[in-house]
A and B are shown apart, each in its own frame.
Chain A
Amino acid sequence: MRNGIFRSHSLLPALLGAAVVGLPHLALADAMQTYHLTLEDHTFLPSHLEVPANTHFLIEVTNKDGTTAEFESYDMKFEKIVVGQGHVTAHAGPLPAGTYKFFDDYHPEATGTLTAVAPKE
C-alpha cells in the first residue's frame, strides 16, 4: 500500500507539468482567427462559414434574441450556452477539409454549416 500512496503523490507534479506544457497554447488564442455569427429570430447570420482546414479558429456568436440558445456542434465538439442578448466564443479546429454542421440545441430549426477548405498548393 505504501507504494500506492507514493504514486499518488507523484501525480500532482505530473498534472502541474501537463498544465505548464499547456500554457503556451493560451498565447495562441490571441493570434487565432475569429469568425462572427449572429443569432436573430432563431436564425444564424451568416448561415455558412468558410475556414482554412487544419487550423485552430474561434467562432463568436452574438445572440440578439431575448431567449437563451445553446450553440452546439457534434462535428466540431462544442456546446455553449448563449444567454439572451449575450455572446460566447467557441474554440474549434483543427478540422480536416469537409463540411460541418452547427445548430442551436434549444431551437433545432436554427442551423448552419461550416466548410473547412484545404489550402491550394
Chain B
Amino acid sequence: MLASLLIVFREVMEAGLIIGIVLAATRGISGRTGWVLGGIVAGLAGAILVALFAGRLEEAFAGNGQEVFNAAILCIAVVMLGWHNLWMASHGRQMAAEMKALGQQVARGDRSMLAMAVVIAIAVLREGSEVVLFLYGIAISAEIGFGAMLAGGLLGILGGAALSFVLYRGLLAIPLRWLFSVTSGLVALLAAGMAGQAAALLARDDILPAWGYGLWDTSWLLSDGSLAGRAATALVGYSAQPLGIQVAAWITTLLVLVLGARLIRQSQGQAPPSAQARPRP
C-alpha cells in the first residue's frame, strides 16, 4: 500500500505543483473556476486516451513516439504560460489595483484563462496517464492485496491534490502588491523548465543536437530521483546532469519572457494612462 501510495503521489505532486501556481497566477480573473475544472476534466479524458493508446503511441516516430508526444505537449504548455505572462504584464497592475479597491473578481480574462486551462489539462494529461496505467494495472492484476494497493493509490491522489492546495494557499498569503510579480516569476520558471525538458527529450532521442552531455553534475546535492529533485524538476526544470541544449532552451525561454514583459510594461508606461483617466469633453 505504501509503495503504490508513493508511486501515485510522485506523479500527482508534479501536476499539483503546476496547478497550484496556475491557480495563484490567475487569482481575480472572473469565471476562473469553470476554466480550471474544465482543464482538469479535459486532462483526465486525455490521460485515459493516452493510456489506452500507449502501445500505439510508442510505435510512432520510429519508436520515439512517447518522447516526441511529451515534447510537443510541453512546447504547447510553454507557449500558453508565455502568453499568460505577457498578458499579465499588460493587465496585472490594473487588476491588482482594482482587486484592492473593490475586493472582487475583475477583468475579463477569457483568453488568458483558456491558455491556463490548456496548461492545467496538459499537466494532468502527462502525469495522469501514468497514474491511470498504474492503477489499471493493479485493478486487473487481481493479486492478493490489490485492494490495499488501490487504496494506497487513491491516497496518493489525495495527497498530491492536498499539496497543490497548500501551495496555492501559501502563495495567496503574499500581499496583493507583490502577488502577480511573484506568480509571473514562478510561471516564467515553469515555462523555462518545460522548454528545457522538451529539448532534453528530443536531444536524448537524437532528434535535436545535445550540445554537450552532462554540462555539470549536481546529483551529490539533489538527485533527479529524490522526491525533492522531482519537485524541483516540475517547478523549475531541474536536472542533475543537464544537456547543453536543455540549458540553452531554459535560458532562452526565461529571457524572452522576462524581457518581453519588461518591454510591454515600458511601452505602456510611455503611453498615456488609460482612457478612463482622461475626462472626455
- On A, residues with C-beta under 8 Å from B are 1, 4, 18-19, 21-22, 25-26, 28-29, 56, 66-68, 70, 74, 77-78, 80-81, 83, 86, 88-89, 91, 94, 96, 105-106, 108
Q: Are A106 and B134 in contact (CB under 8 A)?
A: yes
If the complex has contacts A4-B263, A106-B7, are A77 and B224 also in contact, measured as CB distance less than 8 A?
A: yes
B residues 65-88 touching A (CB-CB < 8 Å): 66
The tally of residues in B whose CB lies under 8 Å from a CB in A reads 36
Chain B interface residues (CB < 8 Å from chain A): 3, 7, 54-55, 58, 62-64, 66, 130, 133-134, 136-137, 140-141, 200, 202-209, 213-214, 223-225, 239, 241, 260, 263-264, 267
Instruction: Determine which of A1, A28, A106 lies in contact with B206 in the assembled complex, contact meaning CB atoms within 8 Å.
Output: A28
Contact A1 B267 (CB under 8 A): yes
**In the complex, residue of chain A having the shortest beta-carbon distance to the beta carbon of B223:** A74
Given contacts A1-B263, A74-B225, A105-B7, contact A80 B206 (CB under 8 A): no
Sample of 11 A–B contacts (CB below 8 Å): A1-B263, A4-B260, A18-B208, A21-B209, A67-B140, A68-B134, A74-B223, A77-B241, A78-B204, A91-B64, A106-B133
The 7 A-B residue pairs with the shortest CB-CB distance in the complex, in nearest-first order: A74-B225, A25-B206, A83-B55, A22-B208, A67-B137, A74-B224, A68-B133
User: CA separation between A6 and B168, bound complex, in Å?
Assistant: 37
